[in-house]
Structure formats: C-alpha cells, structure tokens
C-alpha cells in the first residue's frame, strides 16, 4: 500500500459501506413515501441492492484472502472476480428496473408532484454516496481489489441515480413532469453500459488475462539487471485477484549448484516485486546453458 493509513481505511471501508447503505435505504424509503416521489422509492430499492452487494463483496474479499492449501494450491484469488460479476449482475437488474419504471412513468397521464423533502433527501444521498465512492475506489486501487473497485463504481451509479431524482423533482415542481422519468432512463442506460463493460473485464480476468504490457516489461527489466544469470528466456503473467502471478524462465550457467539456483530464484522474486511495487506470486524455472 502507498500509505500506512490505507490499512486502517481498508479495514473499515466494508463497515462504512454497510452502515451507509442501511441509512440510505431507510432515508430514501421514508422520504420517497412521505414526499410522494416514485424516483426516490426506486432509488431506495437501488440502495437496498447495494447493501446486498456490499455484503457479497466482504464475503468475497475474505474468501480471496485465504491461504493456498492442498485442495486449492493456487489460492482463492479468482473469487474476487466472481464477486465482481455478481455485483454487476445486481446492477444490470437495477438498470432494467429503472428503464422500465421510467418508460411507464412517461406513459402515465396523471402524475403526482413530489414535495421538496424528497429533493433535500436526494441532495444528501448524492453527498454520502460520492464520499463512499471515493473511499472505496481509493482503497480498491491501493489494495488492487477488483470487487472493491466494482463496489466503488456501484456507489458512483448511486450518485447518478440520485442526481436523476433531484432533477426530476425540480422538473416536476416547475411543470415539466417528463423530466423525472427521462432522467431515470438516461441513468439506467449509463448504468447498463458500465455493467456490460465491467462484466466483460471480469470474465477476461477469469480466463487468465495478462496484465498490461508495461508490467511485463518492468519485470523483464528487473530480471535483466541480475548478473548471476545468462539471460531471460521468457516472462509471462496473469491476474489472480489482487495479485499478479508470474511464470518466469531464466537461463543460468550449467555448472551452477542447486543451492546457487535457489538463491537466484529468491533474488529474482525480490527483484520483480520491488520493480512492480505490488504483491505478486512468482514461479521460476531455471534452464542450464
């Protein structure tokens, strides 16, 4: 992690998201009913789905953190991608609901004008969800957690949904009743597009997607600076949860002993991890030349 404080933040982000979403569900549901706002009620359902997704995310991160064992010798890193896919499927369902509700609302002839209590509730929800988004994205980036980053962008979709509610309430107040459902439809399309992109990325990672070419280049540079080897034969890598797993083949002198070979492996592992600046699994094969 970049900063020591990130560790405390990472430990608390799950609890903060759970408590925040519980408050959002209760507040939005109450103001949606009292303020007679269909958009706010739909937003409360959105936050309820977020609460479930947060719980799934916490479970996924705990599973992913388990140490490798005889049954799963490569660890549980891919559990985070499965969790990320589950979260985005939640959002797909929510997006279709928002689209459906928006179309139905536009087709209705008689619409109820919501009161300003729902408007101020929407403003408050925007602020809270934006804070949760920034914290989750920061932590997810620092610990390289796919499910945490997925949860962060889910909080950002909450911001968009609440903005749509606020715009709709203002529009209804000044006589443009179609603004509320139209804004909901636009937000639903934005969320749907984001879900498709993120689900595609998670599936790619489940299929052992290679990290960015820069990561492989940095690892190769670190290995090429080692004076105890004859050369770098190949460097391959794949993403496994919040880690990168490297498969490295090095050329070494034919007269090298087993002890010297093990020393080279340890040196190579340290060089790669130091160069890329993040946690990694490094598997090395030596070839005598």
Better-predicted residue by pLDDT, 160 or 259: 259
Better-predicted residue by pLDDT, 7 or 153: 153
For residue 34, give the CATH number of its domain.
1.20.1510.10
Same-domain check for residues 42 and 141: yes
Q: Which of 175, 206, 237 is the last residue of a domain?
A: 206
Nearest to 213 by CA among 246, 237, 187: 237
Question: What does the pLDDT look like over 243-252, one tens digit per residue?
Answer: 788 999 999 9
Structural domains in the chain (count): 2
Same-domain check for residues 139 and 262: no
Same-domain check for residues 63 and 38: yes
For residue 235, give the CATH number of its domain.
3.30.70.1350
Question: What does the pLDDT look like over 158-205, one tens digit per residue?
Answer: 888 888 888 888 888 888 877 777 777 877 787 788 788 878 878 887
Same-domain check for residues 227 and 189: no
- Segments forming the whole domain that contains residue 47: 5-206
Same-domain check for residues 144 and 234: no
Q: Which of 180, 206, 232 is the last residue of a domain?
A: 206
Query: 99-103, 132-136, 210-214, 283-287 — which one is most confidently predicted on average?
Result: 283-287
Burial class (CB in 10 A: 0-12, 13-18, 19+), 186: middle
Residue 100 burial (CB count, 10 A)? 14
Same-domain check for residues 51 and 186: yes
Residue labelled with tokens 């549980």 = 76
Residue 98 and residue 185 in contact, taking contact as beta carbons nearer than 8 Å: yes
Nearest to 276 by CA among 218, 217, 203: 218
Better-predicted residue by pLDDT, 243 or 266: 266
Question: What does the pLDDT look like over 7-64, one tens digit per residue?
Answer: 666 667 777 878 888 888 898 889 888 887 777 877 887 777 777 766 776 777 777 7
Residue labelled with tokens 């984001």 = 194
Residue 197 burial (CB count, 10 A)? 12
Residue 42, pLDDT score = 77
Residue 99, pLDDT score = 87
Better-predicted residue by pLDDT, 109 or 105: 105
Same-domain check for residues 62 and 150: yes
Residue 132, pLDDT score = 85
Same-domain check for residues 98 and 72: yes
CA distances from 224 to 22, 125, 281 (A): 52, 52, 19
Residue 265, pLDDT score = 92
6 is written with which tokens? 């990130």
Same-domain check for residues 239 and 102: no
Same-domain check for residues 218 and 186: no
Residue 285, pLDDT score = 92
Q: How far apart are CA 91 and CA 82, in angstroms?
A: 15
Same-domain check for residues 194 and 69: yes
Residue 8, pLDDT score = 67
Q: Which of 177, 206, 235 is the last residue of a domain?
A: 206
Residue 15, pLDDT score = 78
SS3 label, residue 222: helix
Residue 161, pLDDT score = 80
Instruction: Inform me whether the pLDDT recorded for 2 exceeds 60.
Output: no
Same-domain check for residues 260 and 184: no
Q: Which residues are CB-neighbours of 136 under 8 A, at least 6 positions away?
A: 13, 17, 148, 149, 151, 152, 155
């Amino acid at each position: 992690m970049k900063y020591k404080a990130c560790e405390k933040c990472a430990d608390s982000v799950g609890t903060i998201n759970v408590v925040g979403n519980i408050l959002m569900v209760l507040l939005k549901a109450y103001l949606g009913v009292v303020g007679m706002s269909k958009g706010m009620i739909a937003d409360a359902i959105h936050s309820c789905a977020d609460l479930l997704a947060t719980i799934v995310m916490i479970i996924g991160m705990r599973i992913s953190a388990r140490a490798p064992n005889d049954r799963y010798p490569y660890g549980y890193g891919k559990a985070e991608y499965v969790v990320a896919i589950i979260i985005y499927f939640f959002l797909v369902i929510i997006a279709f609901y928002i689209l459906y509700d928006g179309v139905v609302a536009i087709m209705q002839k008689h619409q109820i004008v919501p009161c300003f209590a729902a408007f101020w509730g929407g403003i408050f929800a925007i602020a809270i969800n934006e804070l949760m988004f920034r914290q989750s994205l920061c932590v997810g980036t620092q610990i390289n957690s796919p499910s945490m980053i997925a949860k962060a962008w889910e909080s950002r979709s909450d911001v968009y949904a609440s903005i749509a509610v606020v715009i709709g309430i203002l529009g209804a107040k000044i006589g443009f009743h179609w603004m509320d459902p139209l804004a909901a439809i636009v937000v639903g399309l934005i969320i749907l597009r984001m879900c498709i992109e993120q689900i595609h990325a998670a599936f790619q990672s489940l299929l052992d997607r290679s990290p960015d070419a820069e990561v492989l280049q940095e690892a190769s540079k670190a290995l090429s600076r080692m004076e105890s080897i004859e050369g770098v034969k190949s460097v391959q890598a794949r993403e496994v949860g919040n880690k990168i797993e490297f498969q490295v083949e090095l050329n070494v002198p034919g007269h090298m002993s087993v002890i010297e070979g093990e020393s080279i492996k340890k040196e190579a592992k340290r060089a790669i991890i130091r160069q890329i600046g993040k946690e990694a699994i490094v598997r090395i094969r030596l070839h005598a030349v």
